[in-house]
Amino acid sequence: MAVPSTLQAWQMTSPERPLELRELPIPALGPGELLIEVAGCGLCHTDLSFLYGGVRTKKEPPLTLGHEFSGTVVATGAGATLTVGQTVLVPAVLPCGECELCETGHGRACREQIMPGNDLDGGFATHAVVPGRFVCPVDPGSFELWELGVVADAVSTPYQAMERAEVAASDVVIVLGVGGIGTYAVQIAAARGAHVVAVDIDAGKLERLRSFGAETCVDVNGLDTRAAKDAVRQAVVGLGVSRHAWKVFEMSGTSAGQALAYELLTFGGIVGFIGFTPEKIPVRLGNLMAFDAMVFGNWGCLPEHYPPALSLVLSGAVQIRPFIERFPLSDINEVLERARHHQLSARAVLVP
């Protein structure tokens, strides 16, 4: 397989400015590194946060964003375990696997982790260089390789959240925010046999998910926290299921969603915060003690969870095609503007 001498990348030079197309030399590969020819890279809310939300990247601009991509290995550094020609999924977060946190089961919080599009150049390019550790080989089967890029974050992140909460058959699962990742959280929970309640302010998104695992849907548009809590509680009671030990997943990345998630804490319940917002909310921490409940945050997905998450997609248990839309990478600035103003009906995947 021919190795190019240069790559094309759409780079952030500073926040609030359009990305610039640049032709860059292919870097020399270090030990274990891989040169990936990008098949497709999903556009995530985190990319918008780096550009417009005041969130700083670890690597100073110029930086190629994009952490949700699939592709083909076209070159390898010394000692790499994957080979040229393999099709792969690049995890959105790559832990080091060797530090104290990794060795004690806390690899999600690894301080040496690498996130493409944050710590180093990412997937909004024709090629990307990434550490080879934990990159996930994939046989696309009936899928086009570009379609599977969203598994790197949009599918794998809620998968890990469900694992951490030990979601099982007959559990009550409430998903707050059914956008880019919530769409897949609903499906993953349903695949585990849970009673799934989808909550959002977009009636169209909610109605669509009735065909993809949502047992009931709650439109909280225009409701304050108390009214929204009452509406969700009534919906759960209407299902005739347990009023206790609910598993609530906040995926909207809004302060309103976070406030509602905490208010839905039940006796023996679990609340997972997956969506990100820099805003702060007041909470009554005493409820955690009184309810013998748990709250956790979820950052990315451990490498060992990628194969089973991917299997859900390849088997058809989790559908991705109805929720993604392909765009040429050359249209990225237009797509960013549309995403910024909530004008996309599906997760954009940028294809070089």
Please give the single-letter amino acid code of residue 217. Answer: C
DSSP annotation of 190: H
CB contact set of 324 (below 8 Å; sequence gap of 6+): 42, 147, 150, 346, 347, 348, 349
Length of the chain: 352
CA pair distance 43, 49, nearest whole angstrom: 11
C-alpha span between 18 and 9 (Å, rounded): 13
pLDDT at 277: 86
The mean pLDDT of 51-65, rounded to a whole number, is: 94
Average pLDDT over residues 249-266: 97
Mean pLDDT within 179-200? 97
Per-residue confidence (pLDDT) for residue 190, from 0 to 100: 98
Residue 330 is classified by DSSP as: G
351, two tokens? 């294809």
pLDDT at residue 2 tops 80: no
Average pLDDT, the chain: 96
The arithmetic mean of pLDDT across residues 111-138, rounded, is 96
Asked if the model's pLDDT at residue 1 lies above 80, the reply is no
Q: Round to whole Å and give the CA distance between 8 and 347.
A: 23
Task: Sketch out the chain's domains with CATH numbers.
Answer: 6-152+301-351 (3.90.180.10), 156-297 (3.40.50.720)
User: What was the pLDDT predicted at 35?
Assistant: 98
Residue that has been written with the tokens 């009550």 in this structure? 172
Does residue 147 surpass a pLDDT of 90? yes
Give pTM, 2 decimals: 0.95
Average pLDDT over residues 212-228: 97
Q: Where does the pLDDT of residue 70 fall: very low under 50, low under 70, confident under 90, or very high at 90 and above?
A: very high
For 277-332, what is each residue's pLDDT tens digit?
889 999 999 999 999 999 999 999 999 999 999 999 999 999 999 999 999 999 99
Would you place residue 3 in the very low, low, confident or very high pLDDT band (cuts 50, 70, 90)?
confident
Mean pLDDT of 130-147: 96
